[in-house]
Homo-oligomer: A and B are copies of this chain.
């Protein structure tokens, strides 16, 4: 996501800088390809950048906010910092407090859609908070920033609800297709769904194969959504279960793949077979799994 946004901004005439300390080789390659300038340290970043976009896995959003806050204090810079990560409104509130105490202007942002591509405004960056309108300047350089309110927590709340649908449904669909596979019921299930739920099944056939390389990131995101729902008084369990599913995918052989390198799991059946196999291997010891029909497999 980060390098795609950087690439759009570069082509939109914006100088894009970053600091690659401690980042993976994959990130370094992607940054170089996107024409992003690597600065030697984070102090340089907060001094040279007018706008800082934080785009990371959810679990790292907090440590980056602290690094940025320290750098802002050391340098006296006062950048606009937009947290664009998939984290709960309450967590964003804590990051806002950390950064504002250091002197930054903070924007809550939530990215919805695929990574942006040149020319196609297929990604919305929702923004909220007192300074959100200052992020709209990026609309002149290829992005699609939409301000939805003046309070921190609104943009991330929207992102949480949206991701609950897309990633929650992907987890649910993965689980029920794996369960059917373990029980030897994949064929009748897929026939029934193709007939009576064709649009949902087509959606799953498209989205599930794209998921495995991202599963490791989605574990934390599902937990952030669970926390968001719980904070409104609703059950966290659906989304905690979705996190369980992505943990299962991450731990499987599918979890080793990257978006650029896919060898397995390129269809729904591929994905569910890989996930179901170890469960089937155990199922002889589990008296509750119905036996598949030898003649029907």
Contact stretch, chosen from A2-10, A40-48, A178-186: A178-186
Give A96-137 interface residues, CB cut-off 8 Å to B.
112-113, 124, 126, 128
Contact with B along A218-260 (1 / 0, CB 8 A): 0000000000110111111111111011001000000000000
Tell me which of B156, B169, B239, B296 contacts A149 (CB under 8 A).
B296
Contact stretch, chosen from A50-58, A65-73, A157-165: A157-165
A241-B231 in contact given A161-B179, A164-B176, A203-B199 (Cβ < 8 Å): no
Q: Is A293 an interface residue (CB 8 A)?
A: yes
- Kindly state the separation between the CA atoms of A183 and B113 in the bound complex, as whole angstroms: 21
Contact stretch, chosen from A24-32, A75-83, A261-269, A279-287: A279-287
- Kindly state the separation between the CA atoms of A189 and B171 in the bound complex, as whole angstroms: 21
Q: Which residues of B contact A287 (CB under 8 A)?
A: 90
Q: Which chain B residue shows the least CB distance to A91? A: B288
A152-B290 in contact given A158-B188, A164-B176, A183-B157 (Cβ < 8 Å): yes
Tell me which of B124, B153, B169 contacts A192 (CB under 8 A).
B124
Q: Which chain B residue shows the least CB distance to A169? A: B169
Is the beta-carbon distance between A171 and B288 smaller than 8 angstroms?
no
In angstroms, how far is the closest chain B Cβ from the Cβ of A164?
A: 4
For the side of the interface on A, what is the size category?
A: 35 or more
Tell me which of B93, B180, B193, B279 contacts A157 (CB under 8 A).
B180
Tell me which of B93, B233, B295 contacts A283 (CB under 8 A).
B233
A-B CB proximity, top 5 nearest? A153-B290, A237-B241, A238-B241, A149-B293, A235-B244
- Excluding A164-B172, A183-B232, 10 further A-B contacts by CB distance (< 8 Å) are A89-B183, A89-B288, A149-B292, A153-B289, A156-B290, A157-B180, A162-B189, A168-B172, A234-B245, A238-B242
